Structure 1
Amino acid sequence: MSNTPLMRRGATLAAALMTASLFLTACGGDGDNTGDKAAETRSIKAENGTIKVPAAPRRIVTIGNTNLPFIDLGGKPVGVTEVSDSDLDVLPKEQRAAYEAAEIVGSSGGEVDVEKLAALKPDLILVQFSSDDWDKVGKQLETVAPTVNWGLDTEWKAFADAIAEAGNVADGLSRQKAEFKEKVAKIQETYGKIIKDSSFVDVSRGDWSDPGTFYIADIGCSEIARDDIGLDLPEAAEGKDPLAYESLPFEQISELSKYDVITYPVDADGKPTEPFEPVVKTNTWKALPAVSSGRALGVFCPGNNSYGPVNQYLDSLDSALATLAGKL
């Protein structure tokens, strides 16, 4: 048995305990368990398999269609790919600031500068782009950090759920879902009779459209109006390409006269979008019964792949439907 005096033995024990405490702190083993949390992972099912990602990622790079949905949920990526000026222009101020604070790592999904991306030392990469782009850079991305890739056919609500889970931004998603549910219920309750008794058509035109053409929109925000709100809107037959894929000549604008209500795209200020302006300038458009009687509604759709812009769309649709009072 040791002959160390009691006081000396007490000092030795205290020193040993202090050393152990410091060791545990350095390893993240006490206090808030920071080290343990950093090492925790969760499994995410994606297009490229089941991926183990950090439970609380801190340095996320978003590529392709994941940029704006992640930011919409409150995320702050360290790296992004480019988005169009038109998409940036309709972003809320704080979201645009979050995008502009990130490093641009490529003009598009397939043109990512992998070395530049790797220099950001990401702990997670979120991706949605074409399968061709994945074939170009997917395997390289996976060597940099855990990479979660979603196919382009992922339904927008499922996409929001998946991004929230992978990016650890579920709180933002919960708030947006609650708002979405409230807005849908309000529109259905307020305009129930109009929705039940009226036929609608959503028409649009993009900057890619051929001169003198427009299309009937059955994808995008019109899907939400049809599937969630319940508007009677035309859609493609099952198994067929969306109606939106077919360009129609201006001569067919007169065929819209069979619908009770027409919706068309406007910007945040309520003016017809630039690509759609040629349509509203035609005499055929002006002669439509819905147009002449105030039943052609401009609706603002800033996007349809996450809840934030969809909720803005619902606000615009709500305001537009309010103008139909006494016109049907």
Structure 2
Amino acid sequence: MQALDFACPPGTSQFSTTSERRPAADYRPSCCTADAVGGAQANALAAMAALASTCNDAVGLINQNPLGRYQNNGSCSYDCGFREQTWSWWADYRPTNANLASQVNGMNLAAPYATAFQPTRQWLEGALPGNARQLQEQLALIASIDAAIAASGQQTPEQQAQLAQAFTALSNLLASNLGQANQALGNLASFLSWAQPATSGLADYVNSCKAYIQQSAINLENDLIGKIACGAGDVRNTINGMLSDVGAKFARMQPGFDAVNAREVNALQAGDAVAGVFLGLQADSQLVGQQLDLARTFEPASPLRQMHLNIAGSTWNHFVQQADSQLQA
């Protein structure tokens, strides 16, 4: 999403006047251009898609209400009717439509979010299944060695070494898996930090464009009236007519702006929920590690050792289930 620039780009306006003896009125018009519900990830994707659709709808409203080209002209007599004054003006703020559309399109977060989520997808589809398999294999190995020790009533040096090796492998595996998950979370957190705008961002930009057009019209009116000997009321009326049309068109665009702001809030909240899933995964991973450390302090045949191993195994299964159900879509 691009940063909002609250300075509305300048539009273009111009006037011309002539003053000559009657009946030789000569009017030449001017022309111009201007610058002016499912898991968290499924919900996030739905929210991002809804935002993208709403942005497209808002851009449609912007394009359906072009802010120009406006122009008018008139004439009047002065100096006891011996002289004829002609005047004309134009103003074109259609580039403001293009800039508003660009701002709205910049609020479409679907593609940036997909890029930010890619490391999570790679972890879910690549590393996590292998990590899950290896962790279960190591837990099963510890259980089988413990059972053999319980059956024989004693622990051999070889079994002791195998158990130490298995617990170390589990610790390393947990650390590696958590590091991969944290890296994925870091990408999402960076995206969310970058994407969080002030909720009034688009509103501020729209208001700056309205204010610029208003001031541009005032300047156009004052400059033209300052150079003509008559017809000031007609000039004022025609420029007010332009401002009335501009106001009506902004009013027709406004529902699109409001909808985009609302959808963006929903999309960012959905992204926050995905990041929140990782906090639960971190807690599960830490609990698995704690239970393994406790299990290691008890003798192989101890019921307490088996209890802690069972808790570690069930917590790990919950970790994998939550990752799959909340982050897959």
TM-score in terms of structure 1 length:
0.25
Is the radius of gyration larger for structure 1 or structure 2? Answer: 2
TM-score in terms of structure 2 length:
0.25
Higher relative contact order (CA 8 A, sep 6+): 2
